A and B are shown apart, each in its own frame.
Chain A
Amino acid sequence: MRAVVVYKWSRNAADALVRADGSIDWRNAKMSPGEDDPAALAAALRLIRGGDDELVGLTIGDGDASWALARGVASTWSVEDLPALADNGSTAAVLAAAVRRIGGVDVVVIGDSRQEPGVAAAVAGRLAWSVVLGAQTVEAVDGRLHVTRRVADVRQTVVVPTPAVIGIAAESDLDRAPGMKELLAARKRPVNRIGLADLGVTAGDVQTLGCRRPETAPARVFAGDPAQSAAQFVSALRAEGVL
């Protein structure tokens, strides 16, 4: 089984500061992997059972190859000249081209992220492969994938033939820092840097006409003397009919 784990390396959206005019100030945003990526990587590593099994990392832009390599991935590919795009379809087209280029891939495991919820599905669409999103775990059983996920109040196992794309939705923060030994091992592992031209694809994006702040009523916030705030707060909630 040859699996590819796709991970993202980008500015952490939680650190974005929105200015009064609606534009975004990214200066304080740290570069980090996607929030679902540690869970996707953990799921992909469990798929690999020794023998001929192989896990290949794939990222775009200035993704940190050592992040995946030091966590057990044998080699990585990175499409260096693809910037972060608004269009999940265009991102997916490039990722799908890279998966074809890597070749012989049975399964793509990718974070099914809240920020980029179209990427995993569109990668599958571009490859014309089966796809299951919102997954928690994936396991290989007799040449098929057993994928678990939660649908409403049931945990469901979906049996999927390969090749397939599995989108993993993280349930919690799973990332752990690798040790020195793993970091050293990572340095010896191959990193394949390619560009859009090597893949024979272009990556257009949609045009943006600018941002503005939404017209939402701000919270009514009471501050100062606790007893007074408490009284104002309780009477506001009474007026809403919820207390």
Chain B
Amino acid sequence: MDSWVFITADGWSGALEAPRALGGRVVAVVVGPRELAEGVAAAGPDEVRWVEPKPGVPPEAFSLPLADVVAAAAPAVLVAGADPAARALLGAAAAALEVPLLPGAVGLAVEDGHLRVRRALAGGQTIETCAPGGGVAVIYAGEDAPAATRPEATIEVLGLTCSPLAIGASEPVGQASGLSDAERVVSFGRGVRAREDVAIVQALADACGAELACSMPIADDLGWLDKSRYVGRSGNHIAPALYLAVGIAGAPQHLEGVRGARIVAAINNDPDARIFQSADYGIVGDLYEVVPALVAEIDKLDK
């Protein structure tokens, strides 16, 4: 059962590894700069087919021509990660092959000779097993995979005529908040009741040697911290060793920003708060009591 994996940006390791479990050939189709193709080749798929866009051409410009190539080869399984451009390539290829397209895939398997797709539902609280019947396209949403130790693949250049899409302008979105490479981040949400109470959480951040961050409503609606300091889908995406969420409910849009954190810890007075489903450690309690107690405890450590 051969698989083609579409890659247009970093963050491809899980998507490339998932179809390994099927036992067939794994072909990586890379649309992007040479370094990207070389990085993928080093991970050791069976083949790498590389499309190099001219400067100013987005990867999506190849979605339709690439779909023709996929239709001719008719691999059983198509995979892409969450990256928008990779999904654009996958959507065109899946439509060309007229195969089902399943989002949220966390695992692929062959059982009794049949293809199975496991996918996360309800924010990952449950895993569904699907039997697609024939071929399938999946959007991989599982964990990153560790670096593989397989022989490097050779890179075959794929020359394709692209559709007339162009990158018109690019401007950096400045976010020099110091959050991106912080070792520890203490973050707070609407559990904090008043602007002057931010000092309570700041004291905890200081005690931990952490940067201070917040949920979106704190920056966007209330303006208690600068907008460069909120975490989540539309804010910072960070990967600290410790992310400590204080009075944050744990909305999926918020948690998207801390997928790379090693340890997530939370303080919330609601034992059923969603954040506890994603956290490694937690305290159920009123932050107004718990935070000062934590500061006192951490101060003891230093003495």
Is the A/B pair a real complex?
Answer: yes
State in angstroms the CA–CA spacing of A38 and B48 once bound together: 40
- From residue B185, how far is it (CB to closest CB) to chain A in Å? 11
- Taking a contact as CB atoms under 8 Å apart, the answer to whether A243 and B126 are in contact is no
78-131 of chain B: CB within 8 A of chain A: 82, 84-85, 87-88, 90-96, 98-104, 116-117, 120-131
- Taking a contact as CB atoms under 8 Å apart, the answer to whether A230 and B173 are in contact is no
State in angstroms the CA–CA spacing of A117 and B256 once bound together: 15
Known interface pairs A16-B122, A125-B63; A118-B94 also in contact (CB < 8 Å): yes
- From residue B82, how far is it (CB to closest CB) to chain A in Å? 7
Is the C-beta of B60 less than 8 angstroms from some C-beta in chain A? Answer: yes
247-268 of chain B: CB within 8 A of chain A: 251-252, 256, 262-263, 265-266
**Chain B residue, CB-CB nearest to A207:** B131
**Chain A residue, CB-CB nearest to B166:** A159
B interface residues, tally (CB under 8 Å): 92
State in angstroms the CA–CA spacing of A206 and B242 once bound together: 40
**B48-69 vs A: 1/0 string, CB under 8 Å?**
0000000000101101100100
A18 cross-chain contacts in B, Cβ below 8 A: 122, 125-126
Is the C-beta of B165 less than 8 angstroms from some C-beta in chain A? Answer: yes
Q: CB within 8 A of A211: which of B60, B84, B128, B164?
A: B128
State in angstroms the CA–CA spacing of A156 and B84 once bound together: 13
Is the C-beta of B194 less than 8 angstroms from some C-beta in chain A? Answer: no
**A205-243 vs B: 1/0 string, CB under 8 Å?**
111111111100101111110110111011011101111
Q: CB within 8 A of B116: which of A14, A169, A209, A214?
A: A209
A153 cross-chain contacts in B, Cβ below 8 A: 172-173, 175
State in angstroms the CA–CA spacing of A231 and B299 once bound together: 11
A213 cross-chain contacts in B, Cβ below 8 A: 125-127
- Taking a contact as CB atoms under 8 Å apart, the answer to whether B82 and A117 are in contact is yes
- Taking a contact as CB atoms under 8 Å apart, the answer to whether B122 and A13 are in contact is yes
- From residue B76, how far is it (CB to closest CB) to chain A in Å? 14
State in angstroms the CA–CA spacing of A193 and B51 once bound together: 43
State in angstroms the CA–CA spacing of A209 and B58 once bound together: 39
Of the stretches B16-24, B146-154, B274-282, the one at the interface is: B274-282
**A95-125 vs B: 1/0 string, CB under 8 Å?**
0000000000000000010111110111111
25-54 of chain A: CB within 8 A of chain B: none
State in angstroms the CA–CA spacing of A102 and B255 once bound together: 39
- Taking a contact as CB atoms under 8 Å apart, the answer to whether B102 and A88 are in contact is yes
State in angstroms the CA–CA spacing of A158 and B167 once bound together: 4
Q: Chain B CB within 10 Å — which of A24, A160, A212, A219 has the most?
A: A219
A134 cross-chain contacts in B, Cβ below 8 A: 84
- Taking a contact as CB atoms under 8 Å apart, the answer to whether A226 and B90 are in contact is no
136-150 of chain A: CB within 8 A of chain B: 146, 149-150
Is the C-beta of B137 less than 8 angstroms from some C-beta in chain A? Answer: yes
- Taking a contact as CB atoms under 8 Å apart, the answer to whether A206 and B132 are in contact is yes
- Taking a contact as CB atoms under 8 Å apart, the answer to whether A156 and B297 are in contact is no
B61 cross-chain contacts in A, Cβ below 8 A: 130
State in angstroms the CA–CA spacing of A155 and B169 once bound together: 8
Q: Chain B CB within 10 Å — which of A159, A212, A236 has the most?
A: A159
For this complex, 17 residue pairs linking A to B, each with C-beta atoms less than 8 Å apart, are A87-B101, A89-B101, A125-B92, A133-B88, A154-B171, A158-B58, A158-B165, A160-B165, A172-B216, A208-B131, A222-B281, A230-B290, A233-B281, A233-B294, A234-B297, A240-B280, A243-B242
A interface residues, Cβ below 8 angstroms from B: 13-14, 16, 18, 22-24, 86-90, 92-93, 112, 114-118, 120-126, 128, 130-134, 146, 149-161, 167, 169, 171-172, 205-214, 217, 219-224, 226-227, 229-231, 233-234, 236-238, 240-243
Given A16-B121, A122-B101, A224-B285, 13 other A-B contacts at CB below 8 A? A14-B252, A117-B139, A118-B103, A121-B90, A132-B84, A157-B169, A157-B170, A209-B129, A219-B266, A221-B279, A229-B284, A237-B281, A243-B298
| For the complex of A and B, 10 pairs with smallest distance between CB atoms | A121-B91, A125-B95, A134-B84, A89-B101, A133-B84, A230-B293, A171-B234, A242-B242, A125-B92, A223-B284
